[in-house]
Amino acid sequence: MNLTLRIWRQADASADGEMRTYQVSGISPDMSFLEMLDTLNETLTERGEEPVAFDHDCREGICGACGMVINGRAHGPERTTTCQLHMRHFSDGDTIDVEPWRAAAFPVVRDLVVDRGAFDRVIGAGGYITAPTGSAPEAHATAVPKPAADTAFSHAECIGCGACVAACPNGSAMLFTSAKVNHLNVLPQGAPERESRVLGMVEQMDAESFGGCTLTGECATACPKGIPLSSIAAMNREYLRAATRKRGA
Amino acid sequence: MAASGKQYSDYTTGDPLADTKAPGGPVEQRWSRRRFEAKLVNPANRRKHTVIVVGTGLAGGSAGATLAEAGYRVVQFCYQDSPRRAHSVAAQGGINAAKNYRNDGDSVHRLFYDTVKGGDFRSRESNVHRLAEISTQIIDQCVAQGVPFAREYGGLLDTRSFGGVQVSRTFYARGQTGQQLLLGAYQALSRQIAAGRVEMHPRTEMLDLVVIDGRARGIVARDLLTGRIDTYFADAVVLATGGYGNVFHLSTNAKNSNATAVWRAHRRGAWFGNPCFTQIHPTCIPRSGDHQSKLTLMSESLRNDGRIWVPKAPGDDRAPQDIPEEERDYYLERLYPSFGNLVPRDIASRAAKNVCDEGRGVGPGGQGVYLDFADALTRMGRAAVEEKYGNLFEMYARITAEDPYTRPMRIYPAIHYTMGGLWVDYDLMTTVPGLFAIGEANFSDHGANRLGASALMQGLADGYFVLPATLGDYLARHPHQEADPDHPAVHEAVSAVTGRLEALLSADGDRTAESFHRDLGQLMWDECGMSRTEEGLRKALERIPELRAEFWRRVRVPGRGRAFNQALEKAHRIADHLELAELMCLDALHRTESCGGHFRAESRTPDGEAARKDDEFAYVAAWEFTGVGEPPVLHKEALHFEYVHPTQRSYT
């Protein structure tokens, strides 16, 4: 396949960026999107030009490092991570636009690389269960009903890639935050910190530069792990419950 | 560093090495004894001690969180943009623990026994027993953190079986166990970061170790965003930086996983244990072309229900569904009737190579075997298969564009894990006082072959339970003293780092670092992969120094050092791979026996299995660095087996 790529190039956080056009040829349909970019980067390096910077690591769709907006969609046309998107979903002669995540809370670091540190701070504000090492009771001391365990798991699948924020017209992080709140709040082990968790995480989320949620649902459509939109509703319930209790207390 | 034309002509043998921290007495009492005998640091004094932890995977994440909880000041590093992305995240299948919830005869002793035997009698009994003891606490700890393990309808934890064992002791979270365990550790770490007890440096890569007056006192690291080189000081340094499988270029490791931290520590005096013990995982998706950048693992758990086969006749290129049952060879079931498809990884991998070498491989280039779920789908129904393996099937379909529900998967072995690593004593301390290595970065518990679902167990055992107990003993014996930032050793380490980076940037060659990595990987896969021979290893030992010299002459690294520069990061890692590869080959050459994942074609039983030579090689090979291209010094740590007596492994 021969393709025309229009890629966002930006030297650093303070520099102005621009879309630049590159041609790549000899692309195999079995290549992943990142392997296609590897090909471009090897060519650029051989020519002494600086390769296109992009985050990537496991290339198995689980570490959440990669992510770019491809033809206007977070992670591109398939509902998966960029590393698991294969070139067979494109056609010979296509022109493909490649941009970084666009969100106020994710400043561009260079080219297609953004700073997602805000996510780590949201987790640090309550996205855990306080269980100091060595203090744990026997694992079977508390049975967890399978439906609760399954709900927890399906929310825990979030890989923190940031596609939800990138896809949202408001740049909101509600889906990301709700996934962690729901993972931990449905478990009996998470119950003691149920209120402080949701209040703390939402407060931190608001303190970062994320936008508000208007339930457009773009986040759940872009999520490579299928975190459902209902996750946001569940978090809103948790938040309301916690806020009411706090006021009552 | 650059362009030394010398080759390893040989090596010299130094003094034998003893693990002076290993306690004696009955094996089941050794860990409690060591913990009791270890000196403690008064809680009020802990905050005076700074501990550097490099890496945030299962070992590093759990260690950082636990040390901070205990009151130490932790300064932690990862090259990723977030500690949550360390490569432990990609482990699929599960984590072993001797809980015996199934009442199927499991026990601490059986897990100990299985692991020593699975490691082909090249690990320490004391360490493995400790690992088995701690395994049950790990599950308790992770459940308390909210790790969503698979559960049964009664609300209790589910388990499954893995290769090399006959009990069901593997706890799992669908095919994402590593991710869930890592998120548990990451969340615990995040709590400490938010509380100010861990100073976290993401996107920062350790490029050298600072050793002052014979003790590890800090690291030199590069801020990957700005390119700034900084020195960080501490009372102890912990390396939790994973394995070195990426020496082979194509592996199941993350693209940026690398050996720089352990290799630089080795060059600063930490001896390297059993570098040739690398694990080749039998169930990976075969490569599809030269563009391939990495290989994807399909969890070994698939071997619980999938059946592995190839056509009986060489060159049979019919579609799998057109090959009748009687013309298929379910070779693992045929050769190893009692373990069948669940033989250990090294055996399954070599068997796959053998049938492919016979011309019976399937798929492009004949480099693949079938992993067939037709029977399981009939027996369990599609819904049950989907529940158990859904995400793995989806991943396979996405990568290959083939539907594993209707067509058997194609799989082939790939480099997956390195049992070798920095030599550590029972306390997990390297030969550099104050430098510890945990998780895959050390050589300790898996001998010559790691059993499935044991990497996660070891990483978390080291990080949550072992290191926090043993590190205290070291710190208690070395009261805090400020490191001198103007010490000549500090300046030397910093200028070594800047010198290397400048040499890479100024080489002005015509080849990408990636192209050298591909050449090195191919060479290592051919000569130091699944089957090794004296001839091949000698060839590799000749070729690697040439490749290294060519690298420093011809590499081209665009951009600047004082900036975000991924090409520079990569070139630096590959430069270190080009040195480590040589030690791996030399270790493989010197060990003329076959054991576990190390298969020397010259040493096999009459029926073709790996033949150990216990009278000659029942030792850990710990290598001391003497200079690039200089003969290293081999120190042998003899292994003693009091409880599990070495036998030729049999899985038939």
Of B145, B156, B178, Cβ closest to residue A131: B145
Per-residue pLDDT at A104 exceeds 70 = yes
In terms of domains, do B155 and B304 share one? no
- Judge whether B6 lies within some domain: no
Q: Give yes or no for residue B164 having a pLDDT over 80.
A: no
Q: What predicted TM-score, i.e. pTM, was given to this entire model? A: 0.96
A-contacting residues in B 128-187 (Cβ below 8 Å) = 137, 139-141, 143-146, 148-157, 173-174, 176, 178-180, 183, 186-187
Q: For residue B246, is pLDDT > 80?
A: yes
Distance from CA of A170 to the nearest CA of B (A): 23
**Residue B2: its pLDDT value, please?**
37
Considering B400, B415, B430, which residue would you say is the last residue of a domain?
B415
Query: Are B127 and B161 contained in the same domain?
Result: yes
Are both B430 and B375 inside the same structural domain?
no
Say whether both B529 and B440 belong to one domain. Answer: no
- Give the pLDDT score at B7: 46
pLDDT the model gives residue A119: 98
Determine the pLDDT at residue B635: 98
Of B137, B148, B176, the CB nearest to A183: B148
Residue B71 lies in a domain: yes
Per-residue confidence (pLDDT) for residue B3, from 0 to 100: 38
Residues B175 and B221 in one domain: yes
| Residues of chain B positioned with their CB less than 8 A from the CB of A116 | 81-82
Whether A124 sits inside 8 A of B193 (CB atoms) is: yes
Based on the domain organization, do B291 and B407 belong to the same domain? yes
Q: What share of chain A is helix, strand, coil (3-state, %, to 5)?
A: 40, 10, 45
Judged on CB neighbours under 10 Å (0-12, 13-18, 19+), B136 is middle
Domain spanning A3-110 has what CATH number? Answer: 3.10.20.30
The string of pLDDT tens digits covering residues A223-238 is 999 999 999 999 999 9
Question: Which residue among B460, B477, B494 closes a domain?
Answer: B477
Q: What percent of chain B has pLDDT over 90?
A: 88
Closest residue to B187, CB basis, from A44, A110, A127: A127
Top-confidence residue, A248 or B491: B491
How does pLDDT run across B374-408, given as a tens digit for each residue? 999 999 999 999 988 888 899 899 999 999 999 99
Given B361, B382, B415, which residue is the final one in a domain? Answer: B415
Per-residue pLDDT tens digits for A148-186: 999 999 999 999 999 999 999 999 999 999 999 999 999
Give CA–CA dist B573/B513, Å, rounded: 9
Q: Where in chain A is the domain with CATH 3.10.20.30?
A: 3-110
- pLDDT (0 to 100) of residue B92: 87
Q: Tell me what ipTM this predicted complex has.
A: 0.98
Determine, for residues B190 and A55 on separate chains, whether the beta-carbon distance falls below 8 Å: no
Using DSSP's 3-state secondary structure scheme, residue B365 falls into helix
Mean pLDDT of A17-35: 96
State whether B273 and B303 are in the same domain: no
Instruction: List the beta bridge partners of residue A69.
Output: A74, A99
State the span(s) of chain A assigned CATH 1.10.1060.10: 116-248
C-alpha A17/C-alpha B181 separation (Å) is: 39
pLDDT at A249: 53
Evaluate whether residue B489 is within a structural domain: no
Q: Is A248's pLDDT higher than 60?
A: no
- The answer to whether A201 and A190 are in contact (CB under 8 A) is no
Return d(Cα B356, Cα B358) in angstroms, integer. Answer: 5
Pairing relationship of beta strands B198-201 and B272-273 according to DSSP bridges: unpaired
CATH number, residue B398: 3.90.700.10
Q: What is the pLDDT of residue B4?
A: 41
Note the pLDDT of residue B352: 94
d(CA B187, CA B423): 30
Q: What residues contact A180, with CB distance under 8 A and at least 6 apart?
A: A122, A123, A127, A155, A156, A158, A201
Per residue in B329-348, pLDDT (tens digit) is 999 999 999 899 988 888 89
Residue B651 confidence (pLDDT) above 80 = no
pLDDT exceeds cutoff 70 at B5: no
Domain check: are B532 and B393 in the same one? no
Give residue-wise pLDDT tens across range B527-554.
Answer: 999 999 999 999 999 999 999 999 999 9
CATH number for the domain harbouring residue B607: 1.20.58.100
Min Cα distance B557 → chain A (Å) is 7
- How many domains does the structure of chain B reveal? 3
For the cut 50, the answer to whether the pLDDT of residue A39 exceeds it is yes
pLDDT for residue B431: 98
Q: Determine which of B137, B193, B398, B554 to mutate to test the interface with A (most A C-beta atoms within 10 Å).
A: B398
What pLDDT score was predicted for residue A146? 94
pLDDT digits (tens, 9 = 90+) for A105-128: 999 999 999 999 999 999 999 999
**B243 and B148 together in one domain:** yes
Q: Tens digit of pLDDT for each residue in B411-425?
A: 999 999 999 999 999
pLDDT band per the 50, 70, 90 thresholds, residue A8: very high
Among candidates A57, A143, A156 on the partner chain, residue whose Cβ is nearest the Cβ of B155: A143
Best A28, A30, A133 residue to mutate vs chain B (most B CBs within 10 Å): A133
CATH fold group of domain A116-248: Fumarate Reductase Iron-sulfur Protein; Chain B, domain 2 (1.10.1060)
Nearest C-alpha neighbor of A216 from the set A205, A227, A229: A229
Check CB contact under 8 Å for B146 and A184.
yes
Q: Mean pLDDT over residues A204-217, rounded?
A: 97
User: What mean pLDDT comes out for the span B36-50?
Assistant: 95
Distance (Å, whole) CA B5 – CA B203: 34
Is B345 known to be catalytic?
yes
CB distance A42–B514 less than 8 Å? Answer: yes
Same domain, B24 and B107: yes
> pLDDT tens digits for B289-343?
888 989 998 888 899 899 999 999 999 999 999 999 999 999 999 999 989 998 8
pLDDT band at residue B459 under the 50/70/90 scheme = very high
pLDDT at residue B161, as a whole number = 85
Sheet containing strand B369-372, strands side by side: B278-284, B409-418, B369-372, B307-311, B328-329
Same domain assignment for residues B306 and B244: no
Q: Tens digit of pLDDT for each residue in B202-213?
A: 999 999 999 999
Ranges A37-41, A85-89, B365-369: which has the least confidence: B365-369
Percentage of chain B beyond pLDDT 70 is 99
- Per-residue pLDDT band at B9 (split at 50, 70, 90): low
Judging contacts by C-beta atoms under 8 Å, the chain B residues touching residue A128 are 145-146, 187-188, 190-191
Co-location of B157 and B291 in the same domain: no
B176 in a domain, yes or no?
Answer: yes
Is the pLDDT score of B1 beyond 60? Answer: no
Residue numbers of the domain that contains B340: 281-415
Q: Indicate which residue of B85, B345, B500, B600 is catalytic.
A: B345
Asked whether residue B631 is domain-assigned, the answer is no
Name residues whose C-beta falls within 8 Å of residue B272's C-beta, 6 or more positions apart in sequence: B262, B266, B420, B421, B422, B423, B443, B583, B622, B623, B625
Instruction: Return mean pLDDT, chain B.
Output: 94
Listed residue (B569, B504, B101) closest to A138, CA to CA: B101
pLDDT score recorded for residue B567: 97
pLDDT-based confidence at residue B610 (cuts at 50, 70, 90): confident
Min Cα–Cα distance to chain A from B156, Å: 5
